[in-house]
Amino acid sequence: MAERVVFRSVWLPWLLVAPQLIITAVFFLWPATEAILQSTELPDPFGLSTQFVGWDNFDYLFGDRYYRASFLTTAIFSLSVTALSMSMALLLAVLADSVVRGSGVYRTLLIWPYAVAPAIAGVMWLFMFQPSIGLFPYWLKVLGYEWNHVLNPGEAMSLVVIASAWKQVSYNFLFFLAGMQAIPRSLLEAAAIDGASPWHRFRTIVLPLLSPTTFFLLVINVVYAFFETFGVIHTITAGGPGQSTMIMVYKVYADGFVGQDLGSSAAQSVVLMLIVGVLTVVQFRFIERRVHY
């Protein structure tokens, strides 16, 4: 048995993990506790005192038609972003995998969008699709289509979905490509000799063998769409027009920091926290038994 290395000092191990512990405490534990506390309180209009109200914030929240609508909006948004970014990434990964020459260049270029901050990405897409100065609305107009996502809820949703998916394609692409390159070449050659067409090989060999990657990405993408798309929404639509792109995480901000309803905002945070918790559990349970063959 290997000899275990033991720290002689009691303090050194603590010192070494301290940065991570501090970050977790300051940026997660403290705000989370605050959110849970605030979700049971109601501040007075001037924010000078608070009053314990128990479940009232939650009761009010689930009775709110706009909040229930936000659930649906979030579901549509997340599924669309996940489906679009994963299918695009898979397509690009298949293409990049078949490239022999200069594959490094393609890979680098395809990874770039991941380095762009969500807000910057949002602004970039906003410029391209801005109804009065954007290039795309101009071209669409030439084709006879009047684009105005500021007024049209469907177009607004499409735009934030595209912008959010675009940012996530890189990440998915990387995992899909790595997954595909891990499939032994000889398997595909054996299948080719067995008479399988390229499409048949993809369907019966590549896709099943990619399934652990696909499921992992599914969870990651849903979590991404739930939480990390705030910047895109904020810069492009700010939840509008109306409530059409008001996903839950944006509503936390809009109700709390714009609407100054801190109790409701905190209650929404707690609900979100529970959702991410459930998603994480699903993810970990799957990864634990990812024995698929």
**149's tokens:** 């996502």
Q: Which helix or strand (DSSP H or E) is residue 11 part of?
A: helix 11-24
* Residue spans of beta strands (DSSP E) within 90-152: none
Does 214 bind another protein (CB under 8 A)? Our answer is no
Please select the residue that binds another protein; options are 36, 76, 140, 205, rule is CB under 8 A: 205
Please select the residue that binds another protein; options are 49, 193, 288, 289, rule is CB under 8 A: 193
Give the Cα separation of 33 and 25 in Å (integer): 10
Which residue's structure tokens are 């669309």?
Answer: 80
Does 184 bind another protein (CB under 8 A)? Our answer is yes
Looking at residue 5, the DSSP 8-state letter turns out to be P
Please select the residue that binds another protein; options are 11, 46, 112, 293, rule is CB under 8 A: 293
- Residue of 229, 92, 103 lying closest to 162 (CA atoms): 229
Does 192 bind another protein (CB under 8 A)? Our answer is yes
Does 104 bind another protein (CB under 8 A)? Our answer is no
Nearer residue to another protein within complex by CB, 132 or 186: 186
**Rounded alpha-carbon distances, angstroms, from residue 254 to 94, 257, 260:** 40, 6, 8
Does 182 bind another protein (CB under 8 A)? Our answer is no
Does 209 bind another protein (CB under 8 A)? Our answer is yes
Give the Cα separation of 261 and 254 in Å (integer): 9
Which residues, 6 or more positions from 91, have their beta carbon under 8 angstroms from its beta carbon? none
Total number of residues that touch another protein (CB under 8 A):
18
- Phi, psi (5° rounding) for residue 43? -80, 155
Please select the residue that binds another protein; options are 46, 48, 186, 199, rule is CB under 8 A: 186
Nearer residue to another protein within complex by CB, 52 or 293: 293
Read off the amino acid at residue 141: K
**Cβ 179 to another protein, closest distance in Å?**
14
**Phi-psi category of 91—alpha, beta or left, where left has phi over 0 and alpha has psi -120 to 50?**
alpha
Does 196 bind another protein (CB under 8 A)? Our answer is yes
Sole window of 75-83, 124-132, 179-187, 222-230 interacting with another protein (rule: CB under 8 A): 179-187
Does 198 bind another protein (CB under 8 A)? Our answer is no
Please select the residue that binds another protein; options are 13, 208, 259, 277, rule is CB under 8 A: 208
**119's tokens:** 């807000």
Does 195 bind another protein (CB under 8 A)? Our answer is yes
Residues binding another protein (CB under 8 A)? 184, 186-187, 189-196, 200, 204-205, 208-209, 292-293
